[in-house]
Homo-oligomer: A and B are copies of this chain.
Amino acid sequence: MDRETLHRFLHDMLLARAFEERAAQEYSEGNIAGFLHLYPGEEAVAVGVIHATEPGDYIATTYREHVHALVRGIPPRQVMAELFGRRDGVCKGMGGSMHLFDRERRFMGGYAIVGETFPVATGIAYSIALRQLPEAVICFFGDGAVNQGTFHEALNMASLWKLPVLFVCENNHYQIGTEIHRHSAVVNVYKRACAYNIPAEKVNGMDVINVYEATRHALTQIRAGNGPQLLEFETYRFRGHSMADAGSYRPRVEVNSQTGRDPVETVIHEAKLGYPTQAEIAAAGPDLVEQLVGHSAAVGHFDDRHIEAVRDEVKRIVDDAAQFALSSPPPTMDDAWSSLYCNRQHETLTGAA
């Protein structure tokens, strides 16, 4: 791994973490509202995958997509402003946290209905294949999304027509509060691909270099015209499902719901089904960002000064983004109407308002 690439990984991983932690803080302070799904713990996936793409490639992703947007190059200012619902947001405040789009960067959207990324990505890939272009599409989705019918329909079509799409599963083992053993008959997501003759592999998603290499390899195959591939990245989210879900429910709801059960069973249940405790998170291995920092130093590319400089830089970027978002004006009703391509309200046959 060359120094430049490693630097970019380091920068983006640190930026991702800092950005998301800042978003959480802004949420607590009331500057962000609605559902806010954060990415800490999973950074290696977005960073590794998207760094392996070309500018001509397309990305389709979920509601947990701020980091994907940042890594793809959407300015942090515009991402943060969108989270704030402001006019300078990348979607003018119309879409918000779950719906980041950037046409210029081929960032084809965050989708909030689980399973929508499958057909969207397949459609983009179809249009690439039809025009015989060398581009590819990255389709992100969670482990819970795998049980949606659209997964099945899209993978069948993608394989049948050998479409250039890379299906990327961010397997964090949870569908909100439902652990993968309780939502999926097959807990190894990559095994689902056998039903469509799609080559698939499980990869450690906690190591950005691993993620990057696996993605590059898959994209090479895809660009060679061999049809879709699927990569399952095992990862872990360190926070609750969303900010509405800050962990407090586990003692309150889950423990209540266990009342009256055999305490031995309760322990087994907690271990198997509960949300991750801090201890469990720690057991998942050293934090992936710090791991990368360590690696960068170990291979001798960077010294501590350099790493501190990057930490400072991303902090400045995030501060600036938040400052920018806060001072951006709200969109107006005119902005809203003009975001609608098809507009009954403002239209008459004569064109008068």
A152 to B197, CA, bound (A): 16
Assess the B196–A194 pair: CB atoms within 8 A. Answer: no
A328 on the interface (CB 8 Å rule)?
no
A150 on the interface (CB 8 Å rule)?
yes
Assess the B148–A160 pair: CB atoms within 8 A. Answer: no
Assess the A185–B196 pair: CB atoms within 8 A. Answer: yes
A113 to B70, CA, bound (A): 43
A157 to B183, CA, bound (A): 8
Chain A interface residue number, banded = 20 to 34
A265-277 vs B, Cβ < 8 Å mask (1 yes, 0 no): 0000000000000
Instruction: Give, as a whole number of angstroms, the nearest-CB distance from A78 to chain B.
Output: 35
- Give the interface centre of A153, A186, A195 by most chain B CB atoms within 10 Å: A195
Instruction: Give, as a whole number of angstroms, the nearest-CB distance from A267 to chain B.
Output: 23
A188-204 vs B, Cβ < 8 Å mask (1 yes, 0 no): 00011111111000000
Q: Is the interface of A mostly helix, strand, loop or mixed?
A: helix
A150: chain B residues at CB < 8 Å are 149
Copies assembled: 2
- Closest Cβ neighbor of A115 among chain B residues: B149
A193 to B192, CA, bound (A): 9
- Closest Cβ neighbor of A147 among chain B residues: B156
A144-170 vs B, Cβ < 8 Å mask (1 yes, 0 no): 000111111101110110000000000
A153: chain B residues at CB < 8 Å are 147-149, 152
A220 on the interface (CB 8 Å rule)?
no
A184 on the interface (CB 8 Å rule)?
yes
A194: chain B residues at CB < 8 Å are 191, 194-195
Instruction: Give, as a whole number of angstroms, the nearest-CB distance from A188 to chain B.
Output: 10
Instruction: Give, as a whole number of angstroms, the nearest-CB distance from A123 to chain B.
Output: 16
- Closest Cβ neighbor of A198 among chain B residues: B185
A148: chain B residues at CB < 8 Å are 149, 153
Instruction: Give, as a whole number of angstroms, the nearest-CB distance from A180 to chain B.
Output: 11
A191: chain B residues at CB < 8 Å are 194-195
A155: chain B residues at CB < 8 Å are 185
A196 to B147, CA, bound (A): 10
Instruction: Find A196's partner among B149, B156, B186 (CB 8 Å cutoff).
Output: B186
Q: Which residues of chain A from 288 to 331 have a CB within 8 Å of any chain B CB?
A: none
A151: chain B residues at CB < 8 Å are 149, 152
A147: chain B residues at CB < 8 Å are 152-153, 156
A184: chain B residues at CB < 8 Å are 156, 160
Instruction: Find A192's partner among B157, B182, B195 (CB 8 Å cutoff).
Output: B195
Instruction: Give, as a whole number of angstroms, the nearest-CB distance from A272 to chain B.
Output: 15
A197 to B191, CA, bound (A): 10
Instruction: Give, as a whole number of angstroms, the nearest-CB distance from A279 to chain B.
Output: 28
Instruction: Provide a sorted-by-A list of 19 A–B residue pairs whose CB atoms are within 8 angstroms.
Output: A147-B156, A148-B153, A149-B151, A152-B153, A156-B184, A156-B185, A159-B185, A160-B183, A185-B196, A185-B197, A185-B198, A186-B195, A186-B196, A186-B197, A191-B194, A191-B195, A192-B195, A193-B195, A195-B195
Interface residues of A (CB under 8 A from B): 147-153, 155-157, 159-160, 182-186, 191-198
Across chains A and B, which 3 residue pairs bring their CB atoms closest together, nearest first?
A: A149-B149, A152-B152, A159-B185
